[in-house]
């Protein structure tokens, strides 16, 4: 059996793991990364990137579909557009494959050795990897666990046949005629809306009384309106119960306790993601857990000396950029740098239509701190750029302390607001006050002006409303 030693071993080459390995390599740390699948992990292969490619294609298709028959207010007319999903998926696969090579190249450039195979802990310093050419043992001074997450499956609705997870949904060759989505969280709605735009009849079954329940109702209202406009049926307070005997319908218990059948040729289950904590020898090292996740401190150290954990396997928020930020920080700590972690300004984006962005505290969370707060909101209906994009529905909202105007949180809903996430994150990271945002000259005409106006509104003197 082949044996190698290194200073750092990273388990898993998702956004957390590969960023950690690249940064460690740049800092001269002798690093090996082990990956069972393709570089880039969930995010690049079956998550962020492929879903955004599909969402974009669906958006474009819907736009041109509305232009049929000369009804578009833009004065553009087209004849009967069609969508070949197999070609869309091939295009998406091409992007993924280019990025796979990109990540592999970056690892190589940083001097990181990549081992392909499944890694299993033997003890706290040794990992065995089953590769295509045989077994390999890797001894490392430090190990970073970055094994990510996988879709949660329901015992009464197991994956297989018509029941699919987001992974299969991103690789369909044909648009389902009738799609049932179990779970109205961000993944279910992002994909459900995309398929509705591509022509599927979509029903969302959500057990809670609201979709996107982690956001406040004011923020999600434009998304709910759009779901209605797209003809997506949303069953709230409804529980999925199983698959019909013929496999052609989802069995549901409605909010008033009645049994219902939702006809569907595909049932997409998006009820959450679970950490990948099995199959890699966690039992050999006995790390502390926080529920299903691996417990970490503010520097991503686990309960065992020399073992760090980052990304989805460590809990919420399960976001690629959080995993990357943790990966970079851990690499620097391992290289001897002083680093700390402040999760206050991790933005979160939901790529529904319209998009949602949040950074920092919501109004409710800010109120819960006890002090007085100021809230400024600016609607895109008063923003020229939004009007030129037919994107008037939505707003930017800024939440700040009333006493010293320190910005505590920023939220937005609207077409394309994902691009404002960087400005929101920067404002929080820099400890901006309302006056800093209000005093920043924003380019005209852009939706970013809504951010400045929301801060001005909180100060009591918005200019365009």
Catalytic residue IDs: 444
Q: Which residues share a beta bridge with 119?
A: 129
Distance CA(264)–CA(179), nearest Å, equals: 5
The interface region with ligand FAD, picked from 143-151, 233-241, 365-373, 399-407 by CB under 6 A, is: 143-151
- SS3 label, residue 32: strand
Among 183, 185, 192, 311, binds ligand FAD (CB under 6 A): 311
327 is in an annotated binding site: no
Distance CA 188, CA 132 (A): 36
Q: Which of 166, 203, 352, 383 binds ligand FAD (CB under 6 A)?
A: 166
CB under 6 A: which stretch of 13-21, 101-109, 238-246, 368-376 binds ligand FAD? Answer: 13-21
CA 424 to each of CA 316, 328, 410, 412: distance values in angstroms, whole numbers, following the listed order:
20, 21, 6, 9
Annotated binding-site residue? 126: no
**Among 213, 228, 217, residue whose Cα is nearest residue 353:** 228
C-alpha closest to that of 165 among 273, 252, 243: 273
Produce one character per residue of 288-320: b if its CB has 16 or more CB atoms within 10 Å, e if not: eeeeebbebeeebbbeeeebbbbbbbbbeebbb
Ramachandran assignment for 360, one of left (phi > 0), alpha (psi -120 to 50 degrees), beta (any other): left
358 near ligand FAD, rule: CB under 6 A = no
- Binder of ligand FAD out of 9, 53, 119, 163 (CB under 6 A): 119
- Angle 194-198-201 from CA coordinates, rounded to 5°: 90
Q: Between residues 116 and 442, which has the closer beta carbon with respect to ligand FAD?
A: 116
318 is an interface residue for ligand FAD by CB under 6 A: yes
Shortest reach from residue 34's CB to ligand FAD, in Å: 5
Is 147 near ligand FAD (CB under 6 A)? yes
Is the Cβ of residue 279 or residue 431 nearer to ligand FAD in the bound state?
Answer: 279
Q: Is residue 190 part of an annotated ligand binding site?
A: yes
> What is the spatial distance between Cα 376 and Cα 459, in angstroms, rounded to a whole number?
8
What does residue 152 show for φ and ψ, rounded to 5 degrees?
-75, 135
- Please choose, from the candidates 324, 323, 296, the residue with its C-alpha nearest in 3D space to the C-alpha of residue 308: 296
Residue with smaller CB distance to ligand FAD, 26 or 147: 147
Task: List the interface residues with ligand FAD, window 266-305 (CB under 6 A).
Answer: 276, 280
8, 350, 402, 413 from 63: Cα distances, Å: 49, 20, 43, 19
Burial of 87 (0-12, 13-18, 19+ CB in 10 A): exposed
The reply to whether 23 sits near ligand FAD by the rule CB under 6 A is no
**312 near ligand FAD (CB under 6 A):** yes
Q: Does 184 bind ligand FAD (CB under 6 A)?
A: no
Pairing of strands 163-164, 266-269: parallel
Residue 219 as a binder of ligand FAD (CB under 6 A): the answer is no
The reply on whether position 36 binds ligand FAD by CB under 6 A is: yes
Choice between 66 and 301, CB closer to ligand FAD:
301
307 part of the interface to ligand FAD, by CB under 6 A: no
Q: Which is nearer to ligand FAD, 249 or 320 (CB)?
A: 320
Give least dist CB 325 to ligand FAD, A.
11
232 lies in the binding site for ligand FAD (CB under 6 A): no
Binding residues for ligand FAD, rule: CB under 6 A, are 11-17, 34-37, 41-43, 47-48, 51, 118-119, 146-149, 166, 187, 276, 280, 311-312, 318-321, 323, 351
Residue list for the binding site: 52, 147-149, 183-190, 206, 272, 312, 318-321
């Amino acid at each position: 059996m082949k044996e190698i030693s290194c200073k750092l071993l990273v388990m898993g080459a998702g956004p957390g793991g590969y960023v950690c390995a690249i940064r460690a390599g740049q800092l001269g740390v002798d690093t090996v990364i082990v990956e069972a699948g393709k570089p880039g992990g969930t995010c690049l292969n079956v998550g962020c990137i492929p879903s955004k490619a599909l969402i974009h294609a669906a958006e474009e298709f819907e736009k041109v579909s509305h232009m049929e028959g000369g009804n578009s207010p833009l004065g553009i007319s087209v004849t009967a557009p069609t969508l070949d999903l197999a070609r869309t998926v091939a295009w998406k696969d091409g992007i993924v494959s280019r990025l796979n090579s990109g990540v592999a190249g970056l690892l190589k450039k940083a001097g990181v050795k990549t081992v392909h195979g499944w890694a299993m802990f033997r003890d706290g310093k040794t990992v065995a990897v089953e590769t295509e050419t045989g077994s390999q043992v890797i001894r490392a001074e430090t190990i970073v666990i970055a094994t990510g997450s996988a879709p949660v499956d329901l015992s009464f609705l197991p994956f297989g046949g018509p029941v699919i997870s987001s992974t299969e949904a991103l690789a369909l060759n044909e648009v389902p005629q009738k799609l049932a989505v179990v779970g109205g969280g961000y993944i279910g709605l992002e994909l459900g809306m995309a398929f509705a735009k591509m022509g599927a009849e979509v029903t969302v079954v959500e057990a809670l009384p609201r979709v996107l329940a982690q956001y406040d109702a004011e923020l999600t209202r434009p998304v709910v309106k759009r779901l209605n406009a797209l003809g997506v049926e949303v069953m709230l307070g409804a529980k999925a119960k199983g698959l019909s005997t013929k496999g052609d319908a989802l069995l549901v218990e409605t909010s008033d306790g009645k049994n219902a059948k939702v006809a569907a040729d595909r049932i997409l289950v998006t009820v959450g993601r679970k950490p990948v904590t099995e199959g890699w020898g966690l039992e050999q090292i006995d790390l502390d857990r926080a529920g299903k996740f691996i417990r970490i401190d503010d520097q991503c150290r686990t309960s065992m000396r020399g073992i760090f954990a980052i990304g989805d396997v460590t809990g919420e928020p399960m976001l690629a950029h959080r995993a990357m930020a943790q990966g970079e920080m851990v690499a620097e700590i391992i290289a001897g740098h002083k680093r700390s972690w402040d999760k206050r300004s991790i933005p979160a984006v939901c790529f529904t239509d319209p998009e949602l962005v949040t950074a920092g505290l919501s109004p409710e969370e800010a109120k819960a701190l006890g002090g007085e707060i100021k809230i400024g909101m600016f609607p895109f209906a008063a923003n020229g750029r939004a009007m030129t994009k037919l994107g008037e529905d939505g707003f930017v909202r800024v939440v700040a302390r009333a006493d010293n105007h320190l910005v505590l949180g920023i939220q937005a809903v609207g077409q394309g607001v994902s691009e404002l996430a960087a400005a929101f994150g920067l404002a929080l990271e820099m400890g901006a006050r309302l006056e800093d945002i209000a005093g920043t000259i924003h380019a005209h005409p852009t939706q970013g002006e809504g951010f400045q106006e929301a801060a001005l509104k909180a100060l009591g003197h918005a200019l365009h409303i």
